[in-house]
């Protein structure tokens, strides 16, 4: 071939491939735009006052994933009418949790070179008190029962060709002093009673017992442990194997968690369990599907957790004692929390 | 430092006045192919975590456990690629097309793979393509370039390659900026870009390498099989040194992890650390290649490891790591790649005859990759037993011992100007 025909082939290919690329982008952009419009059959949402203040009735706050102008905003519904109209706050969060008038919101900021993420501490009226930059994609957040401490976990991604090395980074913040422990991996680890360090230690899913103590998942060497954390002593002590995403009950006696059960498919390996901390006995929850979420306690006896749904995720609920059957509580919703 | 290259070269290719003009068209074409392919590959790499977590709602933890297996397979595929490419009088282009093509086919597969195991399989296939194409591509670069300009030619190629790697994420996030959550659009654009790369390879890279290698390459003597490679003067020592130094080269992931842990790098900067290394590599690759042509490739290869030694030393010795120290470590890390990656290929090309070029490159490249993999395992184990600081101190000590050994081993004693007969000649009949 001489040069002109080669260039002609190249030009034709550039036009064809460029056209295909442009079509794909335009198509995806149109789809993204349609997500901003409400659709029939979805829970409706309208703006209003959303607060974390007590004494305003029992209600649920969560991230709505329903299409429309309020998509991804924190919304509120009465606890006794979860299917009712959603009051939206105008605050967009990927992950959300709240306790005693303090909210933690992990949100994305859209920039020209991709999204960046930040953790925002909210006051009782969901106004920003302070924000902290995040190192990766948000996955979990929790506020301590008193509202003083906040914790979050992000995914930090690989850095090589077709990189598939994912790790987590978990931070704890004291909202009274604003002192941030940026990386819990700097804590001293006691595994099976002995000091332990390894490059592959990952921590995720903090749940607070009080302002000085918490539970968290510790992973190393392809296994996971439930670890007890001490903020002042900066120590992590492993307690039990095969526990992920712990969630402490309001009375502090039980931990709901996801457990890797042998024989399940590699991409859906978990079942929801509850561990009694006094007897160290595990009880399977009635949910038979694989749950990949840090469950929340909706009250002393009931768990809430996310499962994939038509609009990203739905919130399901099941009794913590293993009785009953799972029930869908909220559609197109993520990260629920009960406020009284 | 000995490099026999320049003696025979002038006969092969007419000298031109300007250095830049001396970069052959084939090298620029292969550089363009790598640039385009890396734009495509890094588009996917950049959005993959977001896609898994936000798009598919998966928890990708532990996904990296299979990385080592993939790397091992990739290394073996690389040997096979080199072997296939040298067979039948030079099928470099055909094997390279197969490798680039395989990776290109993986991009549309991402549109239909929605579970972690499937996505992992697609990525493994993508890496197989990368392993297959590396040796024939580097052989084509070396065969198209007169020996005394190979350092520069590989430098130009690596710079173009890295430029593509830096542009990919930008393009991917531009697409996501226009189309929120448009991961399918990113994969489609990536597939189109990859197809364009294969097309440029097919159209603009000559099948029988033009330039120097075109006149056919006789083998020095007898049938050449893999053991013959190891009897080739210069190659075993070069390979041994690459492996020795590879055994003390801590993987990139560990370097960034150490920077995060030992230096006070603000969290939002973490994603920028690899970019720092890449930017330094991009800027230094061409000058480093040109310097290698002047002072000797092996000498620069060793200097690169000295730069790495200084980088390790900085991480160990500067507690708390102020910003200038972070920048210095990243620049030295990038300089290490600029002084070793293409330069090693150029050095290998200098001692392996044309007919075995791809096999020789694959052998040394694989040896180095496996050595680095072994180092990663050892480093992780040392970290577990002693902690991150002692592990790095151990690696630094290993590098400090290996580098002088390599300097001694690669000293041009047998091939000094006084005894050129002992040196491998170019083995070219043209």
Contact assignment for A159 to B57 by CB distance below 8 Å = no
Give the residue with greater pLDDT, A87 vs B430.
Answer: A87
Q: Look at residue B215 and tell me whether its pLDDT is greater than 50.
A: no
More confident residue, A172 or B269: A172
Mutate to test the interface with A, among B32, B36, B47, B49 (most CBs of A within 10 A): B49
Contact B380 A199 (CB under 8 A): yes
B64 and B124 in contact (C-beta within 8 Å)?
A: no
Interchain CB contact of A12 with B (< 8 Å): no
Q: What is the mean pLDDT of residues B368-387?
A: 87
Residue B5: what pLDDT?
Answer: 38
Q: What's the whole-number mean pLDDT along residues A54-66?
A: 92
Q: Closest chain B residue to A204 measured between Cα atoms?
A: B61
Closest of A176, A258, A168 to residue A212, by C-alpha:
A176
pLDDT at A321: 96
Task: List beta partners, residue A115.
Answer: A110
Residue of B nearest to A202 (CA): B61
pLDDT recorded at residue B220 = 41
Residue whose pair of structure tokens reads 């307690």 in the numeric block? A239
Question: Do A202 and A184 form a contact (C-beta atoms < 8 A)?
Answer: no
| Confidence grade of residue B67 (pLDDT, cut at 50, 70, 90) | low
| pLDDT the model gives residue B11 | 36
B12 SS3 class: helix
Return all residues near A106 (Cβ < 8 A) that are at least 6 apart. A93, A94, A95, A96, A117, A118, A119, A120, A134, A138, A141, A152, A154
- B120 vs A164: CB contact, 8 Å cut-off? yes
pLDDT confidence bin for A281, thresholds 50/70/90: very high
Q: What is the pLDDT at residue B430? A: 31
pLDDT at B194: 97
- Whole-number Å distance between alpha carbons of A77 and A316: 15
Q: Which two tokens stand for residue A114?
A: 């991709």
- Chain B partners within 8 Å of A217 (Cβ): none
Which of A116, A154, A158, A292 to mutate to test binding with chain B, by most B CBs within 10 Å of its CB? Answer: A158
Residue A136 to residue B271, Cβ atoms within 8 A = yes
Q: What is the pLDDT of residues B43-58, one digit of tens each?
A: 998 888 888 888 887 7
CB contact under 8 A, B199 and A9: yes
Best mutation site among A163, A191, A294 for testing chain B: the one with the most B CBs within 10 Å?
A163
Residues in A touching B48 (Cβ below 8 Å): 157, 163-164
Residue B422 has pLDDT above 60, yes or no: no
pLDDT higher than threshold 60 for residue B372: yes
Contact B128, B77 (CB under 8 A): yes
* CB hemisphere CA count around B382 (13 angstroms): 19
Per CATH, the number for B5-422 is: 1.20.1250.20
Q: What is the 3-state secondary structure (H, E, C) of A5-68?
A: HHHHHHHHHHHHHHHHHHHHHHHHHHHHHHCCCCCCCCCCEEECCCCCCCCCCCEEEEEECCCC
Work out the average pLDDT over A206-225.
94
User: Which 3-state string (H, E, C) describes A129-170?
Assistant: EEEEECCCEEEEEEECCCCCEEEEEEEECCCCCCCCCCEEEE
Percent above pLDDT 70 for chain B: 82
Contact B12/B212 with Cβ under 8 angstroms?
A: yes
Q: How far apart are the C-alpha atoms of B105 and B95, rounded to whole Å?
A: 15
Provide the token pair at A210: 């009080």
pLDDT grade, residue B69 (50/70/90)? low
pLDDT tens for residues B3-33?
333 333 333 344 444 445 578 999 999 999 9
Mutation test of the interface with chain A: which of B36, B69, B99, B192, choosing the one with the most A Cβ atoms within 10 A? B192
Q: Is the pLDDT of residue A1 over 80?
A: no
Task: Give B20→chain A minimum CA distance, Å.
Answer: 22
Could you tell me which residues are beta bridge partners of residue A284?
A: A273
Tokens 């149109």 sit on residue: A30
Mean pLDDT of B392-413: 87
**Which residues, 6 or more positions from B254, have their beta carbon under 8 angstroms from its beta carbon?**
A199, B376, B379, B380
Rounded to whole angstroms, how far apart are CA atoms A1 and B205?
12
High-pLDDT (> 90) share of chain B, %: 52
Q: Judge: B62–A219 Cβ closer than 8 Å, yes or no.
A: yes
Tokens of A228: 């007890």
Q: What is the mean pLDDT of residues A197-212?
A: 92
Minimum mean pLDDT range among A32-41, A192-201, A212-221, B158-167: A32-41
How far, in Å, are A142, A186, A252, A255, B340 from residue A211 at the CA level? 12, 19, 13, 17, 51
pLDDT attached to residue B393: 94
Locus of tokens 């998509």: A71
pTM: 0.85
What would the pLDDT profile of A133-154 be if each residue is shown by its tens digit?
998 889 999 999 999 999 999 9
- List the single residue in A with minimal CA-CA distance to B42: A161
CB contact under 8 A, A266 and B117: yes
Domain definitions of chain B by residue range: 5-422
User: What mean pLDDT do residues B313-339 have?
Assistant: 90
DSSP-assigned letter for residue B52? I
How much is the ipTM here?
A: 0.85
* Cβ separation B176–A114 shorter than 8 A: yes
Mean pLDDT, chain A, rounded, equals 91
**B103 within 8 A of B130, measured Cβ to Cβ:** yes
Q: Which residues of A touch B46 (CB under 8 A)?
A: 114
Q: Which residue has the higher pLDDT, B204 or B267?
A: B204
Indicate the residue of A1, A159, A183 with minimum beta-carbon distance to B256: A159
Mean pLDDT value across residues A303-313: 90
Is the per-residue pLDDT at B420 higher than 50?
no
Q: Is pLDDT of A243 > 80?
A: yes
- Judge whether A15 is closer than 8 Å to chain B, CB to CB: no
Residue A297 near residue A320, CB atoms below 8 Å: yes
Distances (CA, A) of B125 to A169, B114, B132, B359: 30, 16, 11, 22
How far, CA to CA in Å, does B397 sit from each of A254, B70, B279, B312, B394?
A: 49, 29, 28, 10, 5
Asked if pLDDT for residue B389 goes beyond 60, the answer is yes
How high is the mean pLDDT of chain B?
82
Mean pLDDT score, A67-84:
93
Buried b / exposed e over B258-296, threshold 16 CB at 10 Å, is bbbbbbebebebbbebbebbbbbbbbbbbebbbbbbeeb
The pLDDT value given to residue B208: 63
Tracing tokens 């033009």 back to the chain, one arrives at B210
- Tell me how close the Cα of A203 comes to any Cα of chain B, in angstroms: 11
**DSSP run (H or E) holding A121:** strand A114-122
pLDDT in tens, B178-214: 998 899 999 999 999 999 999 999 999 998 644 444 3
Distance set, CA A170 to CA A62, A220, A234 (Å): 22, 15, 13
* pLDDT at residue B14 in the model: 42
Using alpha carbons, select from B365, B1, B410 the residue that is nearest to residue B238: B410
How far apart are the C-alpha atoms of B345 and B285, rounded to whole Å?
13
- Cβ–Cβ < 8 Å for A129, A92: no
Strand partners, B207: none
Give the distance from residue A210's alpha carbon to the nearest chain B alpha carbon, in angstroms. Answer: 26
Residue A210 class from Cβ within 10 Å (0-12 exposed, 13-18 middle, 19+ buried)?
middle
User: Regarding predicted confidence, which is higher, B341 or B267?
Assistant: B341
The pLDDT of residue A168 is: 87
Q: Which residue of B has its CA nearest to A140?
A: B59
Q: Considering only CA atoms, which of B166, B201, B134, B140 is closest in space to residue B341?
A: B134
Burial B94-106 (b: 16+ CB within 10 A, else e): ebbbbbbbbbbbb
Is residue B121 packed enough to be buried (19+ CB in 10 Å), middle (13-18) or exposed (0-12)? middle
């Amino acid at each position: 071939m001489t040069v002109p025909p080669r260039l002609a082939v190249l030009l034709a290919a550039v036009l064809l491939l460029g056209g295909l690329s442009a079509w794909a982008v335009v198509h995806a952009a149109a789809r993204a735009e349609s997500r901003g419009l409400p659709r029939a059959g979805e829970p409706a949402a309208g703006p209003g006052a959303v607060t974390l203040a007590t004494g305003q009735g029992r209600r649920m706050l969560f991230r709505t994933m329903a299409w429309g102008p309020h998509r991804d905003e924190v919304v509120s519904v009465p606890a006794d009418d979860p299917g009712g109209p959603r009051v939206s706050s105008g605050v967009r969060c990927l992950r959300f949790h709240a306790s005693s008038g303090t909210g933690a919101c992990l949100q994305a900021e859209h920039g020209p070179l991709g999204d960046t993420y930040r953790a925002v501490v909210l006051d009782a009226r969901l106004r920003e008190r302070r924000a902290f930059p995040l190192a990766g994609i948000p996955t979990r957040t929790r506020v301590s029962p008193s509202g003083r401490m906040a914790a979050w976990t992000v995914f930090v991604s690989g850095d090589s060709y077709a990189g598939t090395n994912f790790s987590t980074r978990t931070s704890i913040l004291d909202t009274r002093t604003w002192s941030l422990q940026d990386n819990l991996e700097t804590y001293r680890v006691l595994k099976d009673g002995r000091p332990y360090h390894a490059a592959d230690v990952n921590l995720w899913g903090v749940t607070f017992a009080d302002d000085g103590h918490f539970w968290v998942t510790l992973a190393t060497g392809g296994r996971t442990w439930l670890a007890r954390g001490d903020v002042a002593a900066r120590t992590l002590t492993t307690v039990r194997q095969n526990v992920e995403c712990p969630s402490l009950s309001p009375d502090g006696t039980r931990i709901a968690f996801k457990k890797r059960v042998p024989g399940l498919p590699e991409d859906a390996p978990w079942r929801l369990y509850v561990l009694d901390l006094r007897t160290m006995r595990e009880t399977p929850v009635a949910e038979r599907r694989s749950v990949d979420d840090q469950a929340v306690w909706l009250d002393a006896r009931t768990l809430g957790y996310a499962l994939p749904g038509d609009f990203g995720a739905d919130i399901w609920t099941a009794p913590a004692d293993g009785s009953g059957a799972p029930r869908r509580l909220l559609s197109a919703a993520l990260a629920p929390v009960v406020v009284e | 430092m000995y490099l026999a290259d320049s003696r025979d070269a002038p006969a092969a290719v007419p000298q031109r006045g300007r250095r830049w003009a001396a970069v052959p068209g084939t090298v620029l074409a292969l550089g363009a192919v790598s640039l385009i392919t890396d734009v495509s590959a890094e588009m996917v790499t950049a959005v993959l975590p977001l896609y898994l977590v936000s798009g598919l709602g998966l928890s990708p933890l532990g996904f990296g456990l299979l990385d080592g297996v993939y790397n091992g397979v990739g290394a073996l595929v690389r040997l096979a690629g080199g072997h296939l490419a040298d067979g039948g009088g030079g099928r470099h282009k055909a094997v390279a097309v197969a490798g680039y093509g395989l990776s290109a086919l993986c991009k549309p597969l991402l549109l239909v793979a929605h579970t972690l195991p499937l996505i992992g399989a697609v990525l493994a296939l993508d890496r197989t393509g990368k392993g297959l194409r590396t040796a024939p591509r580097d052989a084509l670069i070396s065969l198209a370039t007169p020996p005394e300009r190979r350092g520069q030619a590989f430098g130009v190629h690596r710079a173009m390659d890295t430029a593509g790697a830096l542009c990919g994420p930008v393009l991917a996030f531009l697409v996501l900026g226009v189309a929120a959550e448009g991961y399918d659009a990113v994969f489609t654009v990536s597939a189109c870009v990859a197809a364009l790369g294969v097309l440029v390879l097919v159209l603009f890279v000559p099948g029988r390498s033009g330039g120097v290698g075109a006149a056919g390459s006789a083998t020095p003597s007898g049938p050449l099989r893999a053991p013959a490679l190891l009897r080739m003067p210069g190659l075993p020592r070069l390979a041994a040194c690459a492996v020795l130094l590879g055994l003390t080269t801590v993987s990139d992931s560990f370097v960034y992890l150490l920077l995060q842990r030992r230096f006070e790098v603000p969290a939002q900067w973490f994603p920028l650390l690899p970019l720092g290394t890449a930017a330094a590599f991009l800027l230094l690759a061409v000058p480093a290649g040109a310097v290698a042509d002047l002072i000797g490739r092996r000498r620069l290869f060793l200097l690169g490891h000295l730069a790495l030694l200084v980088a390790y030393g900085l991480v160990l010795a500067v507690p708390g790591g102020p910003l200038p120290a972070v920048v210095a470590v990243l620049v030295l890390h990038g300089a290490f790649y600029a002084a070793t990656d293409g330069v090693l290929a150029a050095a290998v090309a200098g001692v392996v005859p044309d007919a075995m070029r791809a096999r020789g490159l694959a052998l040394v490249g694989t040896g180095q990759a496996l050595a680095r993999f072994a180092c990663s395992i050892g480093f992780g184990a040392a970290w577990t037993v002693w902690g991150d600081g002692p592990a790095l101190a151990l690696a630094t000590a290993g590098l400090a011992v290996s580098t002088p050994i390599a300097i001694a081993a690669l000293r041009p004693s047998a091939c000094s100007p006084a005894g050129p007969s002992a040196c491998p000649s170019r083995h070219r009949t043209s």
